[in-house]
Chain A
Amino acid sequence: MALSFLDREHTVARPGFSRWLIPPAALAIHLCIGQAYATSVYKTALVQTFDTSLTAIGIIFSIAIVMLGVSAAVMGTWVERVGPRAAMFTAACFWGSGFLIASLGVASGQLWLVYLGYGFIGGIGLGIGYISPVSTLIKWFPDRPGLATGLAIMGFGGGALIASPLSRQLLALYDSDYDPTNSTSVASGSAVAALFLTLGIVYFIVMMFGVFTVKVPAPGWTPAGFDPAKLKSKPLVTTANVSAANAIKTPQFWLLWTVLFCNVTAGIGILEQASPMIQDFFREGETSSVAGTAATAFVGLLSLFNMAGRFAWSSTSDFLGRKPTYIMYLGVGMILYILLATVGSSATAVFVLLAGIIISFYGGGFATVPAYLRDLFGTYQVGAIHGRLLTAWSAAGVAGPLIINGFLDARGKPGELVAGDYRAALFTMVGVLAIGFIANLLIRPVADRFHEAGEHSDAFAEAAAADSTGSTTDRTSATGQR
């Protein structure tokens, strides 16, 4: 009874409900879970608190990212069945309690509790939270799915922009000896524990705002002036529906998996080494013309490009079409990588501009993919299919750093290299993008044999109808009525 707000009757929008309430509900979730990109703020403090290595602390975040991919893939169908409100609530519980357990771990000096809390439990919240609003947004914005998912997934990039400065300010509040403006200053363990406690409570409250705001459209609802027949006229856009179980049997799913994997791998190549990379590109002898503070600023600038690309390119894809948009991400991306390798060291402005556009394509690739999935597989279980596709992100998270670090380790230590040392790694990324480019070109409409029979378009509505039929049957049997 206490959780009756999660029931279907409270989740279906009444006539007159504005669909523009859905993007802020989705943003409330993504802005919170985007904190996962801002963990560097307290990494050193955790190393000192637990008196351990950076690698041991890095495992916390690796577990979280792995759990993101696993839970998004495994829980996707469940998310479709129970609807966005229950899924967001579950994500809020996992994400919030993950912080609380991690806080207890830091306060008691038990690193395994941090692995369990932030890594395992929080990671499950990340995965469920990431996919929870996607399907709903696509149903509310059938006319502009790229804009809608771009708005939400932009929040994941924006979450880090908020969490980084906020965490520094909170650490300074909890530890008077900590100076957030001094990069060598390290906060105490008790300040990190208090920070985790605060973030856990604040994120839970903000995510609950999303829980109470989100609604699904009533069956058959369409926005004013929207003509579904227009969708049919667009190449690669289907009005049929494919289940998540069938989607992974299609070549289109694996081609798109390859596209996402290649786009993310190439982007991570730059993000992973952004700070030392810009200094190395402008190094003459022992010194670089780019100071340490400017290199840190460059990382912040890339975050802005990452976030802006998510919204701008995904929205643009509604007009360009999804396939041409990925041709741009991957094709223009290849040219930009070649330019970065050849003329990137000619001027700081040229380097910053090239890297910025590359990272905007990286972010755009994340935000556009749900709409691409909707075009190919319909709306029926698009959130669950998206969850399975995100395993490409986890794989790229391993492959990207492996490739870039493999090449750079052979040349020396990042932060002591020159522009030429990056050439082999950057040209390898051009090859990675070329593979993605070809995979995208090979994508064709899904064969009819994979389409669902009948009018499947809403897994949540069908699950509710099945539940209602089941309970009616039970009641009828109990009273002996036929």
Chain B
Amino acid sequence: MTEPTTASGTQTARLVVSWLVVGIPLLYGLYMTIKSVLPLFGG
């Protein structure tokens, strides 16, 4: 009974780490771009 739970836990952790590896740089890029876009709206 423990094995499938561990496998599922590992899978979830892998999914979270994988999306963080690409998500964090993407969020950084989005943040920096939105910051640079603000002058267009008088910010």
**A335 at interface (Cβ–Cβ under 8 A)?**
no
A219 within 8 A of B: no
In the bound assembly, the distance between CA atoms of A332 and B37 in angstroms comes to: 26
User: Is B29 within 8 A of A297, CB to CB?
Assistant: no
A16 adjacent to chain B (CB < 8 Å): yes
CA distance A163 to B26 in the complex (A): 10
- How many residues does chain B have at the interface if contact means C-beta atoms less than 8 Å apart? 22
Taking a contact as CB atoms closer than 8 A, the residue among A24, A163, A296, A297 that contacts B19 in the complex is A24
The chain B residue with its CB closest to the CB of A293 is B39
Q: Which of A20, A160, A163, A206 contacts B21 (CB 8 A)?
A: A206
> Which residues of chain B come closer than 8 Å to A155, judged between CB atoms?
22, 26
The answer to whether A304 touches B14 (Cβ under 8 A) is: no
Partner of B40, one of A27, A31, A352: A352
- Whether A162 is near chain B, meaning CB under 8 Å from some CB there, is yes
Q: Please judge, given known A-B contacts A21-B15, A158-B26, whether A301 and B21 are in contact too, CB under 8 Å.
A: no
**Interface presence of A28 (CB below 8 A):** yes
State whether A300 touches B11 (Cβ < 8 A). Answer: no
A interface: dominant SS? helix
Q: Which residues of A contact B1 (CB under 8 A)?
A: none
Residue of B nearest to A165 (CB): B32
Do A31 and B39 have beta carbons less than 8 Å apart? no
Residues from chain B with a CB closer than 8 A to the CB of A369 are none
A160→B28 CA distance, assembly (Å): 12
Q: In the bound complex, do residue B33 and residue A209 qualify as a contact, i.e. CB atoms below 8 Å apart?
A: no
Give every chain A residue within 8 A of B25 (Cβ-Cβ): 31, 162
Residue numbers in A under 8 Å from B11 (CB-CB): 16-18
| Alpha-carbon gap, A27 to B26, bound state (A) | 10
Quick one: given A28-B21, A300-B33, are A20 and B39 in contact (CB under 8 Å)?
no
Indicate whether A28 sits within 8 Å of B33 (C-beta atoms), given known contacts A21-B14, A21-B15: no
CA distance A296 to B11 in the complex (A): 43
Note all chain A residues with C-beta closer than 8 A to B34: 304
Chain B, residue nearest A213 (CB): B18
CA distance A28 to B39 in the complex (A): 31
A31 to B38, CA, bound (A): 24
Question: Does B36 belong to the interface (CB within 8 Å)?
Answer: yes
Q: In the bound complex, what is the Cα–Cα distance between A206 and B22 (angstroms)?
A: 9
A56 at the interface (CB under 8 A from B): no
Residues of chain A with a CB closer than 8 A to B37's CB: 297-298, 300-301, 304
Q: Does A325 contact B (CB under 8 A)?
A: no
Q: How far is the CA of A16 from the CA of B7 in the complex (A)?
A: 9
The complex places the Cα of A165 from the Cα of B30 at a distance, in Å, of 10
Closest Cβ of chain B to A451, distance in Å, is: 37
Q: How far is the CA of A21 from the CA of B22 in the complex (A)?
A: 11
- For the complex, what is the distance from the CA of A348 to the CA of B42, rounded to whole Å? 12
**CA separation between A17 and B29, bound complex, in Å?**
30
Residues A301 and B40 in contact, CB atoms below 8 Å apart: yes
CB distance from A70 to the nearest CB of B (A): 28
Q: Are B22 and A291 touching (Cβ within 8 A)?
A: no
A31 touches B22 (CB 8 A): yes
* Residues of A8-44 contacting chain B, CB below 8 A: 16-18, 20-21, 24-25, 27-28, 31
Q: Which of A146-196 contact B (CB under 8 A)?
A: 155, 158, 160-166
- CB atoms of B36 and A31 under 8 A apart: no
List of A residues within 8 angstroms of B29 by Cβ:
158, 160-166
Q: Which residues of A contact B26 (CB under 8 A)?
A: 27, 31, 155, 158, 161-162
Say which residue of A16, A20, A161 sits within 8 Å of B15 (CB atoms): A20
Bound Cα distance A24, B26 (Å)? 11
Cβ 8 A contact of A294, one of B14, B21, B32, B40: B40
State in angstroms the CA–CA spacing of A3 and B33 once bound together. 39
Shortest CB distance B21–A (Å): 6
Q: Mark B8-26, 1 if CB is under 8 A from A, else 0.
A: 0001001100110111011
Q: How far is the CA of A213 from the CA of B18 in the complex (A)?
A: 8
Q: How far is the CB of A243 from chain B (nearest CB, A)?
A: 33
- Can you report 27 A-B residue pairs in the complex whose CB atoms are below 8 A from each other? A16-B7, A18-B11, A21-B15, A21-B18, A24-B18, A24-B19, A24-B21, A24-B22, A31-B25, A31-B26, A160-B29, A162-B26, A164-B33, A165-B28, A165-B33, A209-B18, A296-B39, A297-B39, A298-B37, A300-B37, A301-B37, A301-B40, A303-B33, A304-B33, A304-B34, A304-B37, A348-B40
Nearest 7 interchain pairs by C-beta:
A161-B29, A162-B29, A165-B32, A297-B40, A24-B18, A27-B22, A293-B39
